[in-house]
Amino acid sequence: NAGVTQTPKFQVLKTGQSMTLQCAQDMNHNSMYWYRQDPGMGLRLIYYSASEGTTDKGEVPNGYNVSRLNKREFSLRLESAAPSQTSVYFCASILGGGARDDEKLFFGSGTQLSVL
Amino acid sequence: AQSVTQLDSHVSVSEGTPVLLRCNYSSSYSPSLFWYVQHPNKGLQLLLKYTSAATLVKGINGFEAEFKKSETSFHLTKPSAHMSDAAEYFCVVRGDSWGKFQFGAGTQVVVTP
C-alpha cells in the first residue's frame, strides 16, 4: 500500500518555465490538498479538492492551478515559475466526505522545488 | 474562520527533561486539533489528535496534549525528552465543516545531551 505518492522529489526550474507536480493516493480518499512549506511559516494551503470534480483555492493560490484528474490523482501546475515559488511542496489526502472521525491527513514525501 | 498560533518558534531542552510546546487556536466551530512532527528531511507524521472526546490525549512516542477550551489552548508535553525528539512540531486546527486544516508556523525542538 503506497499511500500518497508525489513526483518528482526534486526539481530546478528557471524563471518563466512551467511544470506539473503529480500526486496520487491509493486509499480511496475523497479529499486532497496541496501545501507549500517555507521556513517559519508552517504549511500553507495552496488548493484543495474536497471531492472528485471539485477544487477550491486555499490561502496562497496565486501562480498555481490544479486538476483533480480522478479520485486518485490531484496535480499542481506552475504556469510561469517565479523565484518566490521556491519551496517544499506537499500533497496530502484524507478520507473526507463528512467522516470527521477519520481525520488523519496522509502526506506525500514532498517535492523540493527551486526556481532560479 | 480559524487560526492557530504556536507561541515558541524554537525550544531547546536537555535530554531527560520535560518538553512543553505551546499552541493556541481560534475557531468558529468546535475544533479538531492535531500535533504533527517532521524530522529533518522527512515527511509529516501524526503525533496525536483531539476530536471532542477526552480532553487529555495521548499520542505516540510518549507525547500527550491537553485541550483547554476556556484557554483555547492545546499544548503538547512529554515528561522526558529523548535525542530522537529533535524535530519540527506543528499544531493544526480543523474548525469548519468540510475539512480545511490550518497549520501553525512550527516549533523547532533541539535536544542537547
pLDDT at B41: 79
Q: What is the pLDDT of residues B18-67, one digit of tens each?
A: 999 999 998 877 788 999 999 987 889 999 998 777 889 999 999 999 99
- Name the closest residue on chain A to residue B104, using Cα atoms: A42
- B21-32: per-residue pLDDT in tens? 999 998 877 788
pLDDT tens for chain A, 116 residues long, are 679 999 999 999 999 999 999 999 999 998 999 999 998 888 999 999 988 989 999 889 999 999 998 999 999 999 999 999 999 999 999 887 655 555 788 999 999 999 99
Contact across the interface for A94 and B51, Cβ inside 8 Å: no
Torsion of the alpha carbons at A112, B9, A46 and A68, rounded to the nearest 10 = 70
Residue B97 in this model has a pLDDT that exceeds 60: no
**What one-character-per-residue DSSP string does chain A give?**
---EEEE-SEEEE-TT--EEEEEEE-S--SEEEEEEE-TTS-EEEEEEESSTT--EE-S--TTEEEEE-SSSBEEEEESS--GGG-EEEEEEEE--TT-TT--PPEE---EEEEE-
Inter-residue contact B74 to B25 (CB < 8 Å): yes
B 30-59 → A contacts, CB under 8 A: 32, 34, 36, 42-44, 46, 49, 51
C-beta atoms surrounding A54 within 10 Å: 11
| pLDDT score of A32 | 93
Q: Give how far B48 is from chain A: nearest CA, Å.
A: 9
CA distance A44 to A11: 20
Q: Tell me, what's the pLDDT at B10?
A: 96
What pLDDT, on a 0 to 100 scale, did the predictor assign at position A2? 76
Cβ contact B75:B67 at 8 Å:
no
Average pLDDT taken over every residue of chain B? 91
pLDDT at A100: 58
